[in-house]
Amino acid sequence: MSRPSDRVLGFTLLAAALFAATFVDAAIQRDTHEPALQRTERLVEDLRLSDLVLFTEARYTRHLTQADLHSAFQDHPVALEHFPSGSLLPPPALLLDRHEPLDREAAPSD
């Protein structure tokens, strides 16, 4: 009859082997996905895409980088932001840093 320690250590070793296998699997999958990733990169270049399709419900969550700071609230005066995905995505950092150092560096228009 096997000792309890054999069973425990055996099971732990099996789990450790599976853990190591995830790294092997990751390397294999990376190779398999590589051509598809390259095709996606080309598609982004060809279509001049700028955003990921994460949330399609509102334009400031669909094209996050193209939205401006007001777009979440511009449906009517004193409008509140009402799309749920807005709470999952923060306003892009670039909008908060800005309206960009570019604005500050630019000469004021007369």
Question: Which chain residues interact with other proteins by CB under 8 A?
Answer: 3-5, 7-9, 11-12, 15-16, 18-19, 21-23, 25-26, 29-30, 33-34, 36-37, 39-59, 62-66, 68, 70-71, 74, 84-85, 88-90, 92-94, 99-100, 102-103, 105-107, 109
CB of 84 to other proteins, least distance (A): 5
Task: End-to-end CA distance of the chain: give it in Å, rounded.
Answer: 92
Q: Are 80 and 87 in contact (CB under 8 A)?
A: no
- The amino acid at residue 46 is D
Burial of 91 (0-12, 13-18, 19+ CB in 10 A): middle
CB of 10 to other proteins, least distance (A): 11
- The SS3 of residue 71 is helix
CB of 85 to other proteins, least distance (A): 6
Q: Are 73 and 82 in contact (CB under 8 A)?
A: no
41 versus 79: smaller Cβ distance to other proteins: 41
CB of 22 to other proteins, least distance (A): 4
